[in-house]
Amino acid sequence: MPSLFLVDAFANKPFTGNPAGVVPLTATPDDRWMQQVAGEMNQAETAFFWPEGDGYRLRWFTPTVEVDLCGHATLASAHVLWSELSNPTSTLKFQTRSGELVCHREGEFVVLDFPSEHPVEMPLSEELRTALPATPVWQGRNQMDHFVELSSLDLLLETAWSTYLPAIEALAMRGLIVTAAGGDGVDFTSRCFFPQSGVPEDSVTGSAHCALAPYWASRLGKTELTGYQASPRGGFVHCTVAENRVLLKGSARTVVRGELVV
């Protein structure tokens, strides 16, 4: 029977960061089965990987759909290979729907080498305006998400975002990244809402930082940044912006080990 792990990613202690299901496999599984397992796990994403070439094929599923890119479940998969399955290599290669993703170890941290997804400025639509508590400082989107900067950190943190979820769900694309400058010891703070994908608010979103890091790098004039995602669980993402890539660094903790019996 396949092993099953629950891993808190972008977490420096258990029950923080973003939990991900991780299912290591030995051969290509059935798509419907993976979606059913992800629904049973009911996490923001469940990752499935199996050997392919000199690395692994990696796919990610929310409880309702397969997604093109997921940072925290990639970090969790690398953590399982190194910490649970004793993979001896210091660098891992994953083949995904977003191309080859490479991870390497840096002490207790996992470093993800991801594509930059800098948002492009767009006019403020009425649909987006109704999904926000105030007119944003800046709005745009990339190939995955709508993206807005709010005028203050207080507005980001204190808004009752649950009241805006129906309007966010009506938007096209994966969902909405909302950000503001500053935070306690960080360069920027964010929150991410993906009700279209069955995830009302994500805990810590690695793929969102593929947009957040280059956006704030250009705003702040620096390439090394730390972001905090202010979900109820919360988590830090250390970012390095380099040309068309973004390096995302975080740690992980295994909280559940088990096996699938179906």
Q: Kindly state the tokens that stand for 151.
A: 């005028």
Residues 145 and 177: beta-carbon distance below 8 Å = yes
**Among candidate residues 113, 138, 161, the one where a domain is terminated:** 113
Please say if the pLDDT value at position 162 is more than 90.
yes
Q: Is residue 256 part of a domain?
A: no
- Average pLDDT (109-131) is 97
CA atoms within 13 A on the CB side of 175: 21
Q: Is residue 27 part of a domain?
A: yes
Identify the pLDDT of residue 51.
97
Instruction: Show which residues are catalytic.
Output: 45
Residues 248 and 18: beta-carbon distance below 8 Å = no
Please say if the pLDDT value at position 43 is more than 90.
yes
- Reduced to 3 states (helix: H, G, I; strand: E, B; else coil), residue 142 is coil
243 & 130 share domain: yes
Range of the domain at 26: 3-113
85 & 143 share domain: no
* Angstrom distance (rounded) from CA 112 to CA 110: 6
Please say if the pLDDT value at position 222 is more than 90.
yes
- Average pLDDT (96-118) is 94
91 & 147 share domain: no
176: which strand partners?
146, 193
Burial class (CB in 10 A: 0-12, 13-18, 19+), 119: buried
159 & 204 share domain: yes
For β-strands 188-194 and 175-181, DSSP reports them as antiparallel
160 & 181 share domain: yes
Please say if the pLDDT value at position 262 is more than 90.
no
| Residue 28's pLDDT band (cuts 50, 70, 90) | very high
For β-strands 18-24 and 120-121, DSSP reports them as unpaired
DSSP H or E segment with residue 191 = strand 188-194
Identify the pLDDT of residue 172.
87
CA atoms within 13 A on the CB side of 88: 0
Identify the pLDDT of residue 243.
86
* Amino acid in the structure at residue 219: R
- The percent of residues above 90 in pLDDT, for the chain, comes to 94
Core vs surface per residue 173-184: b (16+ CB within 10 A) or e: ebbbbbbbbebe
98 & 176 share domain: no
Identify the pLDDT of residue 1.
83
- The percent of residues above 70 in pLDDT, for the chain, comes to 100
Identify the pLDDT of residue 235.
93
CATH, residue 132: 3.10.310.10
Structural domains counted in the chain: 2
108 & 134 share domain: no
Identify the pLDDT of residue 29.
96
| Residue 12's pLDDT band (cuts 50, 70, 90) | confident
Identify the pLDDT of residue 159.
98
Please say if the pLDDT value at position 52 is more than 90.
yes
Q: Is residue 187 part of a domain?
A: yes
Identify the pLDDT of residue 132.
98
Q: CA triplet 65, 69, 71: central angle to 5 degrees? A: 115
Identify the pLDDT of residue 223.
97
| Residue 247's pLDDT band (cuts 50, 70, 90) | very high
- Average pLDDT (78-107) is 96
C-alpha 36: how far from its chain's center? 21
**Among candidate residues 75, 93, 113, the one where a domain is terminated:** 113
Q: Which among 90, 208, 57, 82 has a CA at the least distance from the CA of 143?
A: 208
Mean model confidence pLDDT for the chain: 96
Please say if the pLDDT value at position 187 is more than 90.
yes
- Average pLDDT (20-40) is 97
* Angstrom distance (rounded) from CA 120 to CA 139: 8
